[in-house]
Chains A and B, each alone.
Chain A
Amino acid sequence: EAGVAQSPRYKIIEKRQSVAFWCNPISGHATLYWYQQILGQGPKLLIQFQNNGVVDDSQLPKDRFSAERLKGVDSTLKIQPAKLEDSAVYLCASSLRGTRELFFGEGSRLTVL
C-alpha cells in the first residue's frame, strides 16, 4: 500500500516569498492533517480536514497560511508571505475515519532566509 506522499521534500526561499506544499494521503483515508514541526520540538497541528471540510484550523496563522482539500483527496498548504520563523518541517498525515492512528508523510523541509 502506498504511503502518504509529499512534495517538495526541501524548499529554500527568502522571507516575504511564497511557497506551496502538496500532500496525497493514503487511499481511502478521509482525514488529513497538516502539522508544523520546528527543529527540536514535537509536531504542532495547523489544520485538520475531514474529506473536503475543515474540522480544526484554530492554530493556523490565517494571515499568511492557507490550506485546501478541494476534492477530498490531495491537499495543498500555502504560506504567503513567509517569515523566518516559518522554517520547519511541514508534515502531512492521514487516518481512516473513526481511527486515531496517524500515518505521516516524509515531510517538506522549509528554510526561510
Chain B
Amino acid sequence: GQNIDQPTEMTATEGAIVQINCTYQTSGFNGLFWYQQHAGEAPTFLSYNVLDGLEEKGRFSSFLSRSKGYSYLLLKELQMKDSASYLCAGANSGNTPLVFGKGTRLSVIA
C-alpha cells in the first residue's frame, strides 16, 4: 500500500504561522488533498494540489512537490478555532478512493 506520514501532534501560538508536513511514496499519488477535522466532527475540504507549487487560499496555503513526495499545509495568523486535526490524503489515478494519513492534531494556544 501507499504510506502517508504526518507528525502526530503540533502546538503553535495564536497569531503565529505553522507548517504541517506530509510525505508519501512517490510512485503512488497524482494529487494531494488536505482536510480539516474538528474533534467530533466530519472532515471538511481545505485544498487540493495536483500540480507542483503553492496554492494560496486566504490564511491557508498548500504546497506540493511530486518528485519529492512532499506536501505541506501552511496556516497563517493562527486563531484558536484552527485547533483541529489536519488530514493529508493522496489521490491515485482513475476513480480510486483517497488514502488518508493519520492526521496531525494542532493545538493553538494563547
Contacts and interface: CB of A to CB of B under 8 A. Distances in A.
Interface of A: 4, 31, 33, 35, 40-45, 48, 50, 55-56, 91, 100-107
Contacts of A43: 43, 87, 100
A100 B42 contact: no
A81 to B, nearest CB: 27
Interface of B: 4, 31, 33, 35, 41-45, 48, 87, 89, 91, 95-103
A55 B87 contact: no
Nearest to B94: A55
A91 B33 contact: no
Contacts of B41: 106
Contacts of B48: 100-101
A45 B89 CA distance: 12
Contacts of B100: 35, 42-44
B45 A105 contact: no
A41 B102 contact: yes
B43 A104 contact: yes
A42 B5 CA distance: 11
